[in-house]
Structures are given as structure tokens and as C-alpha cells.
A and B are shown apart, each in its own frame.
Chain A
Amino acid sequence: MYIPEADFEYLIRTLSDARSRATELAVSIGSRLGTEHRLAQLANSAAASIESTLRQVRNPAAEKLDSAIGLAEPIASPPMPVSFSGGAGLDAEHWLSAFVDELLVQARSAGGITFEGVERLLQHRKDEFLRDFLTARRMYRAYPRLFPEITNEARQAGTS
């Protein structure tokens, strides 16, 4: 059993979009009811579980775990190579890390890697980056007090 590339793309797109929307919901609920409220905690749990699922789908190693028999047992995995993000000194959340992960998944898939596939992945990554950026900007504009670090930086930049 394996996940075809089209399903991978669909899952990553759906989960990325869901993650942005769930995070926005959690911030909205938290700002109205307080972060300790049960509803805010439920919203945070939902956002965290979407994030977790997305990470697992993105993980190229998950594609290799295609034997349902071995999955219930702990698997002694070989030492993992240094991740791209770690080797390049990038944050794990950086868009380039996700892009490289997706390229590796495509390269290992049955269809292999093509220029068209790479272009499509890069465009998808760009769309996702812009969507996340716009969501973050909306959240900052709507709830600036939830981002004290940015507000302080902006204030310091204004005074210097």
C-alpha cells in the first residue's frame, strides 16, 4: 500500500489550509473567551492535531511504512541522515524544508521526479506561503496584543 502523488498533494493542501483556519479559529476564540477557556483549549487541540497529522503526512519516511503488519510493532529505524533544514541551518517550519521534503517524496514515488512536477510543487509551496502570510497578517492586524514581540520590535524600530 502506498499513497499516490495526487493523494499526497490533496492531503497536504487540505491539511495546510485546515491548519491555517484552525489556528485562526483558536486565536479568535482565545481572544474572546481567554486562552484558559475550554473552548479555546479545544480549538488549540484541534489545531495541534491538524499540525501533527500534516507533519506525519509530509514525512517522507511515512511513505515507507506501508506494511500494516509491521506498523503495530516498534520499528528499529536506521540512523536518520541530517535533515535538510538542520543541515542548511533553517527552521524546520521554513517553506524550503517542506518543499525539499515534498521533492524527496516525489523522487521516491513510482512516477519519479519531473520538471513539471517540481514546478507544480514550487507553485503549491508559494501559494501556501502566501496564504499563511496573509492569515498571519490578518491575525496581527486584528489582535496585535497577541504578538507582543512584533509590537515591541516595531516600537523600537520607530524610536531608533
Chain B
Amino acid sequence: MNFDTRGFSELTRKATELMADTADVPIVLHSRLGEHHELTRAAREMVANIEALVRELRSFDASGAHDAGESDFVVS
């Protein structure tokens, strides 16, 4: 069974939307609580985690690693 590349692009799109929709959370917390508040730091870490996911998803999607015969990830 090969991965559905359209499905994977869709996952990348959803993750990108998630990143955009949460981008202002640390900004709001920073403006209300300050840079060093633990909530602001937690929100920054959260955004960094989402950004890392999006970056890897884009890279994975662009590399075509999910295409048949090109990757360890393909299962049969």
C-alpha cells in the first residue's frame, strides 16, 4: 500500500493552518504577562513545536519520500 500523496499534502496544509492559527498565542501572552512568564515561554515552545512539525512535513512531502519505491516508509 502506498501513501496517498494528496492526503499527505492535505496533512501539510492542515498543519500549516494550525501554525498560522496559533501564531499569535505567544504574542498575546507576551503582551499581557511579559516575556519571561512561564505561560509565554510555554506558548513559544508550543509554536516552535508546531513549526518544527510543519517544516518536517513540508520537507517530507516535497522529497516525495512517501512515493512508491523511494522510501523505507512505504509499507506493503
Judge if A97 is at the interface, Cβ distance under 8 Å: no
Judge if B68 is at the interface, Cβ distance under 8 Å: no
- State which residues 1-25 of A face B: CB under 8 Å: 1-4, 7, 10-11, 14-15, 17-18, 21-22, 25
- State which residues 36-86 of A face B: CB under 8 Å: 37-39, 42-43, 45-46, 49-50, 52-53, 56-57, 62, 65-66, 68, 71-72
Contact-residue size bin, chain B (C-beta under 8 Å from the other chain): 20 to 34
Given A39-B56, A53-B42, A53-B43, A2 and B32 touching (CB < 8 A)?
Answer: yes
Contact, CB under 8 Å: A18 / B18? yes
- State which residues 2-38 of B face A: CB under 8 Å: 3, 7-8, 11, 14-15, 17-18, 21-22, 25, 28-29, 32-34, 36-38
Q: Name B's A-contacting residues (CB within 8 A).
A: 3, 7-8, 11, 14-15, 17-18, 21-22, 25, 28-29, 32-34, 36-39, 42-43, 45-46, 49-50, 52-53, 56-57, 60, 66, 73
Number of interface residues of A (CB under 8 A): 37
Q: Name A's B-contacting residues (CB within 8 A).
A: 1-4, 7, 10-11, 14-15, 17-18, 21-22, 25, 28-29, 32-33, 37-39, 42-43, 45-46, 49-50, 52-53, 56-57, 62, 65-66, 68, 71-72
